[in-house]
Amino acid sequence: MPQAVAGPEIERLIQLLGRMPGLGPRSARRAALQLIKKRETLLAPLAEAMRIACERIVVCGNCGNVDTSDPCTVCQDPGRDPTTLVVVEDVSDLWALERSGAVRARYHVLGGVLSALDGVRPDHLNIARLVERAADPVVSEVILALNATVDGQTTAHYITEAIRHLDRKVTRLAHGVPVGGELDYLDEGTLSAAIRSRTAF
């Protein structure tokens, strides 16, 4: 076991930072040191921002998004197309789609995907509320923007069955060649999905 080079408070800071996605122990030490060096301009404002966020963050009772208000900012936005519901696994997917600017619709965050291996069942996810929302007569299309993984697609099939009686248009994201992608570098699964999902030119 390596000897501690700092007091328990700093070791704790490093340990917590090390739990962040994408930060290994080395990067966590570097980040901690940077925060300590910039105590007034970085560490103190960050601690304050985190304290406020910690107090005010709520899960939107309507869509499952996280925000500081319930209903969330997205649900309250009158500029969004109310006829389309975009279903995503996680808040990070909602943020990613918003960054793309490709859709100005309403979202529904499931909070995960079905997984036999991890024991995730339909009642663990925000699916019952999705069925309620999709039943709103104003909704005409449900876009299943789920990951192209086995669990993502299993979840997409489950949702399709759960809302079939509502007779809504149910679509999913296209699978295939990424923008800027070269065919020679693609795996066989992606390439065959791209052929199957070909569109008129």
Residues at the site binding Zn ion, with contacts judged by CB under 5 A:
60, 62-63, 65, 71-72, 75
Closest distance to Zn ion from the beta carbon of 135 (Å): 17
Answer for the pair 168, 159: CB distance below 8 angstroms, yes or no. Answer: no
- For Zn ion, the closer of residues 13 and 109 by Cβ is 109
CA angle 51, 64, 130 (to 5 degrees): 175
- For Zn ion, the closer of residues 109 and 163 by Cβ is 109
3-state secondary structure of 21: coil
Closest distance to Zn ion from the beta carbon of 53 (Å): 17
How many beta carbons lie within 10 A of that of residue 28, not counting itself? 18
Strands (E), the chain: 58-59, 66-67, 81-88, 105-109, 141-144, 169-172
3-state secondary structure of 107: strand
Closest distance to Zn ion from the beta carbon of 68 (Å): 12
Closest distance to Zn ion from the beta carbon of 58 (Å): 10
- For Zn ion, the closer of residues 18 and 71 by Cβ is 71
3-state secondary structure of 142: strand
Closest distance to Zn ion from the beta carbon of 177 (Å): 33
Cα–Cα dist 187/88, whole Å: 25
Tokens of 155: 């979840």
- For Zn ion, the closer of residues 32 and 107 by Cβ is 107
Q: Which residues contact 115 (CB under 8 A, 6 or more apart)?
A: 151
**DSSP readout, 55-99?**
HH-EE-TTT--EESSSS-HHHH-TTSEEEEEEEESSHHHHHHHHH
Closest distance to Zn ion from the beta carbon of 61 (Å): 8
